[in-house]
Structure 1
Amino acid sequence: MTALVGLVLVTLGVLGILWWAGRLGSVPTRVDLSAIRWWPRQQWWPWALGLAGLILVLLGLRWLVAHLPRRGISHLSLPGSGPQGRLHVAAGPVVDATADALARTPGVRSARGRIDHDRGQLVAHFDATIERGADLRTVAAAADAVTGELQAALERQDLTGLVQLRTAGRNRAMPRVY
């Protein structure tokens, strides 16, 4: 959208320069504004400008709200929902419990998750911070396990897991077990 607006503004600027230089051929070199010069002297003019400004502000706010990041899904329908009733589960606590299970894996400092629709598919996103010396095989196995447990708990085989790992900036002191 920004590129389109920029292209339109550049085109208008080039056309303005060509018009000013008289290079547009049959286009008049002067613009006659006598038909609308009386508008600013009318009583309705400030109200019309105010209304136009308000409409532009509301359109801008609508555009901004449409581009806010979407939060995850709050409720999921469970299998067995039918015309007699619906079975729903709050996704937040289930995903939080799954992220906590991933965070209990050795080498994982913290984890958090959410469920949302991504390109028409139900996806569980997990962001985990791991220690620098973490065993990636152990972390990957734990990520697969918790994703499978989440699918089983929600009875949703169409749920895909996506785990993003970040390495911690520095290792923290881990408790020693004797």
Structure 2
Amino acid sequence: MSRRVLGWDRTAAVLVALVLLALGAAAVLWGAGQLTRVWSAAPEQLSTTPLDDVTATSWWRWTSTAAGAVLALLGLWWLLAHLPSTRVGPLRLPGSGRGGRSTVDGSSAVAAAAEVLGELPGVRASSGRLREVRGQVVADMSVTAGPRTDLAALSAGIDGVSSDLARVLGRDDVRSRVRVRIARRDRAAARVR
């Protein structure tokens, strides 16, 4: 969640809390017959006649429709802003001091590592991305290998690529996860006619 969304959350929460506190206190005082002590113009009874007059006007339908659409869009934005993001920005490199800040684009490094994984013997496809999982930065890669692939050799290749990635990123807190999927069938050989 971004700082801007967090700021809107806090502001909205304070405003809603204040309105609810005021309405709750007014309801308690009104029920006890003491509301006129705090608010001298408090009515003895509530009438909905002015509200009925407003809702009977010709502009009410269009205004309420527009207000409903705006509120629905605002609610949708609010929900989308609260979706957890797994995206990771630039990673700060060790050795960055007060005089400057050195960063690396970890996503590009993980994409390059996935390409190297795709060149290992028996690998048909590979992909990778850098993401945040439960507060940890994870280089999440996946490999699809053929059913006859030597898994011991593949595992050694994956270990080598993961070690190279850790050296490139220069950070000990980045974890690597490589999921290996085994294809069900061998690729069909191209038919020659």
TM-score range normalised by the length of the shorter chain? 0.5 to 0.7
Superposition deviation, residue 107 in structure 1 = 1.4
1:103-114 mapped onto 2 (5 Å cutoff): 103-114=118-129
Do the aligned partners of residues 34 and 57 (structure 1) sit closer, same or farther apart at CA in structure 2, a change above 3 Å counting? same
Count of paired positions = 142
* CA distance, structure 1, for counterparts of residue 142 and residue 128 of structure 2: 6
Q: Deviations over 1:83-113 (max 9, x none)?
A: 2111011223311221122122111112111
Superposition deviation, residue 156 in structure 1 = 0.8
Say which SS state the counterpart of residue 81 (structure 1) adopts.
Answer: coil
1:135-154 mapped onto 2 (5 Å cutoff): 135-154=150-169
* CA distance, structure 2, for counterparts of residue 96 and residue 115 of structure 1: 8
Q: Deviations over 1:55-87 (max 9, x none)?
A: 1222124424644x8464242111111221110
* CA distance, structure 1, for counterparts of residue 155 and residue 172 of structure 2: 20
Superposition deviation, residue 117 in structure 1 = 1.2
**Equivalent of 2:75 in 33, 39, 59:** 59
What is the aligned partner in structure 2 of residue 50 from structure 1?
66
More helix by share: 2
Superposition deviation, residue 159 in structure 1 = 1.1
What is the aligned partner in structure 1 of residue 109 from structure 2?
94
What is the aligned partner in structure 1 of residue 143 from structure 2?
128
1:79 aligned partner, one-letter code: P
Q: How much identity, in percent, do the aligned residues show?
A: 32
Superposition deviation, residue 53 in structure 1 = 2.5
Runs of 4+ in 1 over 4 A off after TM superposition: none
Do the aligned partners of residues 34 and 92 (structure 1) sit closer, same or farther apart at CA in structure 2, a change above 3 Å counting? closer
Do the aligned partners of residues 53 and 72 (structure 1) sit closer, same or farther apart at CA in structure 2, a change above 3 Å counting? closer
Q: Is the 8 A contact 2:114 2:126 kept in 1?
A: yes
Instruction: Please give the root-mean-square deviation of Cα atoms over the aligned residues, in Å.
Output: 2.7
So what's the TM-score if we normalise by structure 2? 0.63
1:56 aligned partner, one-letter code: A
Say which SS state the counterpart of residue 132 (structure 2) adopts.
Answer: strand
Q: Is the 8 A contact 1:127 1:165 kept in 2?
A: yes
**Structure 2 alignment gaps of length 5 or more:** 1-46
Q: Is the 8 A contact 1:78 1:154 kept in 2?
A: yes
So what's the TM-score if we normalise by structure 1? 0.68
